[in-house]
């Protein structure tokens, strides 16, 4: 029996794939979205346990001039609230309310590092400069989501005046690409201070991206009902527009010359165009290129060897707590999105030199030595704490609070421990330590009031969304990236060596996150549509 042919098939029902599918359905294409899990959303997903609503992936959203314009353009309405951020070190916590809060941050740092006042002032000046660049970069609704042919007012009154500022800003961004750790070394001598400023960033985060976090703190918003409402709204839109979604369908082979896909049940699907909005290493591993033109095959093999060589970026460990204590007790301490460091000493070499040594000599380490390292790591780390109920009180049973505590975690450590056969023992060791550190410091009520807890590791992320090395924002930051990493070239980030295959999402462009995944989802949809129309008219 021959397969039904779709104009475009999208593999991966994360935020990127959902965006592509919504736009192509709106354009009247015959669209099929294939997702391996039973629900869509990928890393933009929420779930309920014992009446507590939790976010499985991203904790809140940054518009970045992308998310809200995309929703408006597609005619999707979701109710959102601000997601204010707090920052804390030991027993001092500040709320970030507006740009003026940068001074509160300065005072917080000076309070802990009085000898470094001059250096702190220099860092603050840099952050403020970058915030100004961010205002330019994100200050305009992204033109990709505007109807430039008909919206003349936007074109002439907003876009044209903005373009020279944008070009200037792009120059600035590109000149601040060095890893933030290196950059801070040029400004700050005190290693603890450097750690406190930067230890919650991904390894080698480009300076511009890292120091722009303060702008992002002011931009965060939260969909009522949980972050997953964004994915649900897109899914509903796709169906309304006539697009098809098939879940529990994992693609295991791409036969590029025949434009065919095969799933885990050996069912095949035929496409004119394919948008791959999932892990990119998987695409390159499972694509068969026999029958393609030699020139295309060569380019594919060349890209494949680059892609397979690179690693996914940092992953995360998340501890979920169900607590028998009202939201008010937590509201008095900090906002529902909280970056907290329980010890001002900072991680030092614990999460770089010592961890690298541990991983390189893993076989020689006893369990006790690894747990001793874990002790230090959990005491000195910075935690991202999210309390969904403080953003939307309907997300918890009355009088109770759900909390998500997470930190950046090294995939290889979990992988090696799993291979050694003691992961089930290791996970509670982490959970108990994190719970102890946080209840000994900022939330003492967790000690007696925690009813239940569970966690997700980097391996859970890899299993759930198929993300290489459990990465949560695509590629690790390295000098040479296997994908486009310059904003002015983002348009080309969705192309692959095979003309009928496009890529989208966190692996298509670096640095990525929700806004960039949405942007590449739209760019891939535009390219696929253009290609389809070109072929039809020829």
Ligand X SMILES: Cc1cc2nc3c(=O)[nH]c(=O)nc-3n(C[C@H](O)[C@H](O)[C@H](O)COP(=O)(O)OP(=O)(O)OC[C@H]3O[C@@H](n4cnc5c(N)ncnc54)[C@H](O)[C@@H]3O)c2cc1C
Binding site for ligand X (CB under 6 A): 11-17, 34-37, 42-44, 57-59, 62, 250-251, 277-279, 282, 316, 318, 406, 465-467, 472-473, 505-506, 512-515, 517
Backbone φ/ψ region at 392: left (φ over 0), alpha (ψ -120 to 50), beta: beta
- Residues of 179-216 as b/e, b for ≥16 C-beta within 10 angstroms? bbbebbeebbeeebbbbbbbbbbbbbbbbbbbbbbbbb
Separation between Cα atoms, residue 170 and residue 176, nearest integer Å: 10
Q: Output the six-digit token pair for 7.
A: 């104009």
Which residue, 192 or 249, has its beta carbon nearer to ligand X? 249
Tell how far CA 512 is from the center of its chain: 7
Output the smallest distance, CB 261 to ligand X, in A: 9
Separation between Cα atoms, residue 304 and residue 291, nearest integer Å: 17
CB 370: neighbour CB atoms within 10 A?
19
CA-wise closest residue to 225 among 44, 365, 455, 422: 44
Which residue, 289 or 318, has its beta carbon nearer to ligand X? 318
Separation between Cα atoms, residue 151 and residue 308, nearest integer Å: 43
Output the smallest distance, CB 466 to ligand X, in A: 3
Output the smallest distance, CB 12 to ligand X, in A: 3
Output the smallest distance, CB 486 to ligand X, in A: 18
For the chain, what percentages of helix, strand and coil (3-state, to nearest 5) are there? 50, 20, 30
Output the smallest distance, CB 371 to ligand X, in A: 24
Non-local (6+) Cβ contacts of 98 within 8 A are 218
| Residue closest to ligand X (Cβ) | 14
Separation between Cα atoms, residue 406 and residue 53, nearest integer Å: 16
The DSSP output letter for 291 is T
The partner residues of 255 in beta bridges, in order of sequence, read 260, 288
Which residue, 385 or 512, has its beta carbon nearer to ligand X? 512
Output the smallest distance, CB 262 to ligand X, in A: 11
Output the smallest distance, CB 86 to ligand X, in A: 15
Quick one: 178 exposed, middle or buried, by C-beta within 10 A (0-12, 13-18, 19+)? middle
Separation between Cα atoms, residue 403 and residue 408, nearest integer Å: 17
Query: Where do the H-state alpha helices sit in 186-332?
Result: 191-198, 207-211, 213-219, 228-240, 280-286, 294-309, 327-331
The partner residues of 262 in beta bridges, in order of sequence, read 253, 268
Output the smallest distance, CB 145 to ligand X, in A: 17
CA-wise closest residue to 437 among 517, 340, 511: 340
3 state SS of 182: helix
Which residue, 113 or 475, has its beta carbon nearer to ligand X? 475
Which residue, 17 or 346, has its beta carbon nearer to ligand X? 17
Output the smallest distance, CB 387 to ligand X, in A: 14
Separation between Cα atoms, residue 498 and residue 429, nearest integer Å: 47
Which residue, 112 or 414, has its beta carbon nearer to ligand X? 414
Which residue, 205 or 517, has its beta carbon nearer to ligand X? 517
Which residue, 274 or 278, has its beta carbon nearer to ligand X? 278
Which residue, 245 or 327, has its beta carbon nearer to ligand X? 245
Which residue, 34 or 525, has its beta carbon nearer to ligand X? 34
Which residue, 192 or 467, has its beta carbon nearer to ligand X? 467
Output the smallest distance, CB 225 to ligand X, in A: 17
Output the smallest distance, CB 313 to ligand X, in A: 9
Torsion of CA 57, 63, 64, 69, to 10 degrees: 130
């Amino acid at each position: 029996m021959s397969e039904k042919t779709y104009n475009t098939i999208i593999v991966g029902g994360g935020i990127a794939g959902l965006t592509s599918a919504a736009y192509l359905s709106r354009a009247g294409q015959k669209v099929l979205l294939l997702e391996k899990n039973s629900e869509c959303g990928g890393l933009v997903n929420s779930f309920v346990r014992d009446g507590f609503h939790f976010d499985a992936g991203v904790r809140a959203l940054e518009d970045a001039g992308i998310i809200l314009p995309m929703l408006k353009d597609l005619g999707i309405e979701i109710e959102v609230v601000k997601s204010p951020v707090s920052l804390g070190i030991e027993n001092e916590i500040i709320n970030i309310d507006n740009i003026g809060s940068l001074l509160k941050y300065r005072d917080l740092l000076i309070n802990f590092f009085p000898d470094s006042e001059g250096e702190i002032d220099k860092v603050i000046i840099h952050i403020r400069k970058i915030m100004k660049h961010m205002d330019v970069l994100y200050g305009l609704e992204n033109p990709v989501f505007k109807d430039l042919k008909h919206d003349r007012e936007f074109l002439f009154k907003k876009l044209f005046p903005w373009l020279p500022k944008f070009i200037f800003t792009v120059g600035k961004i590109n000149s601040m690409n060095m890893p933030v750790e290196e950059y801070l070394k040029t400004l700050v001598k005190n290693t603890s201070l450097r750690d406190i400023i930067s230890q919650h960033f991904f390894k080698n985060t480009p300076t511009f991206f890292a120091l722009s976090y303060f702008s992002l703190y002011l931009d965060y918003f939260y969909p009522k009902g949980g972050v997953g409402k964004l994915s649900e709204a897109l899914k509903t839109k796709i169906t309304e527009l006539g697009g098809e979604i098939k879940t529990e369908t994992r693609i295991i082979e791409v036969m590029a010359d025949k434009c065919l896909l095969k799933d885990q049940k050996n069912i095949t699907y035929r496409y004119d165009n394919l948008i791959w909005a999932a892990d990119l290493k998987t695409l390159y591993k499972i694509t068969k290129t026999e029958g393609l033109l030699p020139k295309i095959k060569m380019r594919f093999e060349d890209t494949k060897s680059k892609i397979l060589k690179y690693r996914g970026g940092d992953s995360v460990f998340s501890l979920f707590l169900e607590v028998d204590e009202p939201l008010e007790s937590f509201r008095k301490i900090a906002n529902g999105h909280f970056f907290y460091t329980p010890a001002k000493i900072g991680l030092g070499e614990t999460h770089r030199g010592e961890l690298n040594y541990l991983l390189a000599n893993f076989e020689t380490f006893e369990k006790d030595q690894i747990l001793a390292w874990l002790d230090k790591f959990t005491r000195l780390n910075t935690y991202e704490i999210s309390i969904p109920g403080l953003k939307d009180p309907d997300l918890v049973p009355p009088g109770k609070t759900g909390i998500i505590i997470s930190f950046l975690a090294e995939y290889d450590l979990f992988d090696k421990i799993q291979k050694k056969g003691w992961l089930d023992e290791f996970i509670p060791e982490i959970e108990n330590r994190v719970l102890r550190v946080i209840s000994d410091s900022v939330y003492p009520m967790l000690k007696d009031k925690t009813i239940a807890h569970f966690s997700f590791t980097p391996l859970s992320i890899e299993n759930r969304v198929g993300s290489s090395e459990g990465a949560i924002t695509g590629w690790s930051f390295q000098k040479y990236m296997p994908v486009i990493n310059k904003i002015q070239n983002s348009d080309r980030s969705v192309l692959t060596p095979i003309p009928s295959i496009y890529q989208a999402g966190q692996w298509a462009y670096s640095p990525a996150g929700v806004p960039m995944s949405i942007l590449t989802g739209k760019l891939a949809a535009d390219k696929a549509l253009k290609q389809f129309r070109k072929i039809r008219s020829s």
